[in-house]
A and B are shown apart, each in its own frame.
Chain A
Amino acid sequence: MEPEVIAKTRVSNKKTAGKLLIIVVAMFGFGYALVPLYDVVCQVLGIGRFADIESGKYDPKAQEQLVKDMAANKDLTRNVTVEFITVLNGGMKWEFKALQKEVVVHPGVMSTVDFYAKNLTGRDVIAQAVPRILPGNATKYFTKIECFCFTQQIFKKGEARNMPLRFMVSPALPKSINTITLSYTFFDTQPVALK
C-alpha cells in the first residue's frame, strides 16, 4: 500500500477507536445512571411502594391521605370476605397461622388481624413473609397499613409472638370480587445467605 494510504488508514482507525471508547464510557455511565433513573420513574409512576417501605424512603403522608380518601368513601352496605392462607417454605419448622381464618369487612373500614408464629427450629431465625393476593386484580385495592411482611422478622430460638396486620379494602374494588384471599409464605432467609 502507498505510505499516504497507510497514514490515512491510521488516522481513521484512531478516530474509530476514539468513537468506540466514548460509546463504551457512555454505556458504562448509563448503567450507573439507571439507579437514580429508576428511582425517578418509580416515583413518578408510583410503583414499587413495597420496596420503598423497606428502604425507609416511603412517604407515610401519602399513605395517610390514601387511607383518609378510602375511609371517606366507605361502603357499610357491602361485605367483602378476606381469607388468610399461611404457608411455610422449605419444610421450615415453624408454627404459623392467622388467628382468624377469615374476616368479613366493609370497604373503607380499617381491620386488624393477628397472626401467630412460633420458631420451633432450635436456632435463631431471620424470616421474611411474602404476601400474595388472589384474585390478582384485587391487589391494588388491598392496602396494608401495618404488616409483618414489611420487614424481616427475627425470632429467637423457641420464641412465639403475635404479629398484627392492619389493612383496608378500597371502596373502588370491582363489584365482581366478593372474596379476597391473602396468602403469606414465610421463608427462612438463612438458606439465601448461605447459598
Chain B
Amino acid sequence: MSDHPTGIKRWLFTTNHKDIGTMYLWFAFTMLFIGGAMAMVIRAELFQPGMQVVNPNFFNMMTTLHGLIMVFGAIMPAMVGFANWQVPLMIGAPDMALPRMNNWSFWILPFAAIMLVAPMFIGGDFMAGQGPAFGWTFYEPLSGQYDKLAFFIFAVHLLGFSSIMGSINIIATILNMRAPGMTLMKMPLFVWTWLITAFLLIAVMPVLAGVVTMMLTDKHFGTSFFDAAGGGDPVLFQHVFWFFGHPEVYIMILPAFGIVSQIIPTFARKPLFGYASMVYATAAIAFLSFIVWAHHMFTVGMPAAGELYFMYATVMIAVPTAVKVFNWVATMWKGSMTFEVPMLWSIAFVFLFTIGGFTGLMLGVVPVDFQYHDTYFVVAHFHYVLVTGSLFAIIAGVYYWLPKWTGHMFDIRLSKIHFWVSAISVNILFFPQHFLGLAGMPRRIPDYALQFTEFNQISSIGAFIFGGTQLLFLYIIIKCIKGGDKVSDEVWEDAKGLEWEVPSPAPYHTHATPPTVK
C-alpha cells in the first residue's frame, strides 16, 4: 500500500478505480443524509395541517432540493461508485480505461453540489427560502421567475459533465478491457445493466444541458424558447425536459436491477434464470424509455391520438419489467436459499419494486391518470421505485460487497435490525400516500385540508423512523471499516464471479495479470 500517495493527496490526485469508487459512494452517502434531512423537514411540516415549521416558499425549496439532491447527488453517484469499484473487478480489468478522466468526473461533483445548494444561503433571510423552489422538474415559466436561476443551471451543467465523462469511461472499460474469454454474453448482469445505462446517460444528458441552456438564454440573453410572448412555447419545455427525464428514471433503476441480479443467484445457489432474456429485457426497457416521455404530461392538452400513442407505449414497458420480475422469482424457485443481509434487501426490492411497477402501470392509463396526475399517488409510486427500488438495491449492494472492500464482515445483528426497521417503516411512510392521492391530495403542497390528517401523520411517523434508521447504517459501515471478523476471499458461500477470486480486502491493484474466463 506504499506505492501511492497518502493523506489528502491520495484522494485528490488518485486515478485508482477503488479510491474513486469509494469517494463516489461516500459522496452519495453524504448527499443521502442532506437530501434525507430535507425530507424530514417536509414530513415534519406535513405532520399536521397548518403551517408549523417553515413557510410555504421554504417548503417548496425543500421539495425541490430534496428531489434534485436525491436524484443527482445520491442515487446516480452511488451507482457510479459501484461501477467504479465493481466493473473492473468483475470483468477482470486492472482499472478503468480512462483513469484521469475518472478522477475529474468525480471531483466535479462536490462543486456542483455546492453550487446547487449555495443560493439557499445567499440573501438576508435563510428562513424565507432563498434557494430554487420550483420543483425538481423546474417547469417554465415558473422557474424563469427565480432570480438566482443561473446557480441552478450551472450546477446542472456540471452534473451533466460528470455523468457524461463517467459514462464514457464505463463504456470504454467494458468494451475494451474485458479479460480474455469474457465475451459480452458472459458478462455479469450488473456490467450489462451499467453498459446500457451508460449509453442512456450519454444520449440524454446533453438534452438536459440543452434545456437548461435555453432557460439561461431566455432568462438573461433575450431569447424566447419557452416564453409565449416572443413566439416560444412553455409546453416545449416539458417535452424537452421529459425527453431527458424519462430515460433518467431508468438510469436510476437499471443498475439496481443489475445489483439484485448478482445477489439473488448467490444466495439461491442457483444461476440467474434467463440471463439472455434479462439482457434483452434491459435493452428493451432502455429503448422504450425514449418513446414514452409525454406520459408525464397527459394533462397539458395533447390531441387524443397523441395520448393514445403514449399510453400504449407506456404500458408496453410493463412487459420487459414483468419478465425481469418473473426471472428473479424463477431464480429463487427450487434454489437452496439462505437469507443473509444482502439477500433480505434484494427480496424486499423485488416485492416493493413490483408494487411501484404496478402503480406505474395504473398511471400509464390516460383516463385514470387525469385523476392520479400530480397527486400523492404519484409521489407514492415514484418513491416505491426509487426508495424501495434503487435505494434498497444500493443498500443491498453495499452489504454484498462491503466485506470484499474492507476484508471484514459487518455487524450481522445490527444490519438485520437495520433491514427490518427500514423495510417496515418505509411502508408506513409511503403506502398511506397512495390513499392520500386517491382521496385527492395534490403533491407539492405545504398544508392540507383536515381530512388528509391521519394518513399524513402515519406517513410522517414512518418517515422519521426510516430516516433515523439510516444513521444505524452509517454506524454499521464505519464499524465494518474499522474492524470485524476477517472474511475469506469468497466471502459468501459458493459466490460466483471474478470479484470473489481476488483477495479480501481487495488489494490496491487487482487483475494486474488478466484472469482467463472459461
Contact = CB atoms under 8 A, between A and B. Distances in A.
A140 to B, nearest CB: 12
B230 A136 contact: no
Interface in A86-112: 89
Given A128-B229, A187-B228, A137 B222 contact: no
Given A136-B303, A195-B219, A188 B231 contact: no
Contact of B228 (A51, A54, A130): A130
A126 B230 CA distance: 12
A89 B229 contact: yes
A181 interface: no
A193 interface: yes
Contacts of A179: none
B231 A189 contact: no
A31 B224 CA distance: 19
Contacts of B144: 195
Interface in B9-28: none
B228 A185 contact: yes
Contacts of B227: 192
A93 to B, nearest CB: 16
Given A192-B222, A193-B222, A128 B303 contact: no
A136 B220 CA distance: 32
Contacts of B228: 89, 130, 185, 187
A154 to B, nearest CB: 15
Interface residues of A, number: 17
Contacts of A89: 228-229
B30 to A, nearest CB: 36
Contacts of B230: 128, 189, 192
Contacts of B224: 192
A55 B320 CA distance: 49
A156 to B, nearest CB: 20
A189 B303 contact: no
A188 B303 contact: no
Given A193-B222, A195-B219, A130 B303 contact: no
7 contacts: A130-B231, A136-B303, A187-B228, A187-B229, A189-B230, A195-B218, A195-B220
B231 A51 contact: yes
A136 B219 CA distance: 29
Interface string B106-146: 00000000000000000000000000000000000000100
A103 B229 CA distance: 27
Q: Which 6 A-B pairs have the closest CB atoms?
A: A187-B229, A130-B228, A192-B229, A136-B303, A192-B230, A128-B229
Nearest to A185: B228
B215 to A, nearest CB: 12
B404 to A, nearest CB: 34
Nearest to B306: A136
Contacts of A50: 231
A189 B228 CA distance: 10
Interface in A173-195: 185, 187-189, 191-193, 195
* Most chain A C-beta atoms within 10 Å of own C-beta, residue among B218, B219, B231, B303: B231
Contacts of B219: 195
